[in-house]
Structure 1
Amino acid sequence: MKNLVKILPLVAVLGITSCKKDQKADQLIVEDQTAAAAAAPTQEDLVKEAQAKPLTTVALSESDFEFGKIKKGEHVEHVYEVTNTGTNPLIISQVKPGCGCTVPDYTKDPILPGQKGQITLKFDSSNFDGLVNKQAEVYANVEKAPIVLTFSADIQR
């Protein structure tokens, strides 16, 4: 444990900087990677950011979807409809999929009270066989963030 405490600051420093070779001279140039590290917010940061705006309420057309049987390698997508049922504009700040096989798209503009927006999850089945369950977290200005959307598929060869 003591060794781990000694190593962590060193690992943090190495993770913040990187080196590359300058092609004009045989010297190393150190680049600051602090901005890149700051670009990866934690779940807690995402929730705080979303809830910093006036809260509202939302209704989903569904929170779970079944694609059923699909062929391996097929690209499928599903649109989840969101309705702002509150009195403040609904602002979806980010949709974070559980893995790289799922790509989200969502309504970026504020969704006014009574209006509808969309969250689309696009799934690439290339690396899977059999029954698969996936999810995406939706960060928005609602009390119970993140909202979790799920889908499943039975991938056939």
Structure 2
Amino acid sequence: MKSIKILAIAALCTLTFSCKKEEKTLDHIPGVDSAQASTVVEALSQDSANPDDAALVKEAQSKPLTTIAFSETDHSFGDIKKGEKVEHIYEVTNTGTNPLIISNVKPGCGCTVPDFTKEPILPGKKGKITLHFDSTNFDGAVSKAADVFVNVEKAPVRLTFTANITQ
């Protein structure tokens, strides 16, 4: 029963806090003592590899490998108003000899939604990865990332962006 309670708390924390800038605690949840809350928060905040990510990497690398070039891997939106929805297109070029396949784009939280070229990108051709960001739940400086699972040697490739959310 205790492990079910901790798993439920972990799921709740992931959904509730993954898109919040401020540091949160679980002290306000009935039946959760501070030691349990601390353990869950610490486990969620560690940058551990997700088993689903390993499967995505394996899938991407099961295709013939190629090489990739990005127009940029980091973007700054600068100052944007709270609640504003913005997007940025990252251009990708297949610089290898095999088709480039974007298997998945996995953002760090639900405030970022990806869109990407689904069909194989032939050698020398270009594709796009668009990251849509909703600033509703943020104040001040934010930094977000999305992992791109592609058939290249060092996958996933991380795309990042920053913004300063103003009132």
Say whether the fold is shared (TM-score over 0.5): yes
1:139 aligns with 2:149: yes
The equivalences for 1:26-37 within 5 A come to none
Structure 1 residue 41: Cα displacement = 6.3
Deviation digits for residues 3-38 of structure 1 (CA, Å, limit 9, x no counterpart)? x9xx69xx9xxxxxxxxxxxxxxxxxxxxxxxxxxx
1:95 aligns with 2:105: yes
The equivalences for 1:78-89 within 5 A come to 78-89=88-99
1:54 aligns with 2:64: yes
Number of equivalenced pairs: 123
Q: State the alpha-carbon separation in 2 of the partners of residues 41 and 122 from structure 1.
A: 25
CA RMSD of aligned residues (A): 1.9
Q: 2:132 aligns with which of 122, 126, 139?
A: 122
Larger helix fraction of residues: 2
What is residue 159 of structure 2 aligned with on the other side? 149
The runs of 5 or more residues in structure 2 that have no matched partner are 8-49
Q: State the alpha-carbon separation in 2 of the partners of residues 106 and 64 from structure 1.
A: 16
What secondary structure sits across from 1:93 in the alignment? strand
Which amino acid in the other structure matches residue 100 of structure 1?
G
Q: State the alpha-carbon separation in 2 of the partners of residues 89 and 116 from structure 1.
A: 11
What secondary structure sits across from 1:55 in the alignment? coil
Say which one has the larger Rg.
1
What is residue 110 of structure 1 aligned with on the other side? 120
Q: State the alpha-carbon separation in 1 of the partners of residues 153 and 126 from structure 2.
A: 19
Which amino acid in the other structure matches residue 57 of structure 2?
V
Structure 1 residue 42: Cα displacement = 1.0
Deviant stretches of 4+, over 3 Å: none
Larger strand fraction of residues: 1
Which amino acid in the other structure matches residue 82 of structure 1?
V
Q: TM-score, normalised on structure 2?
A: 0.70
Deviation digits for residues 97-130 of structure 1 (CA, Å, limit 9, x no counterpart)? 0000000000000000000000000000000000
What secondary structure sits across from 1:144 in the alignment? coil
What secondary structure sits across from 2:87 in the alignment? strand
Which amino acid in the other structure matches residue 60 of structure 1?
F
Report percent identity of matched pairs.
70
Q: TM-score, normalised on structure 1?
A: 0.75
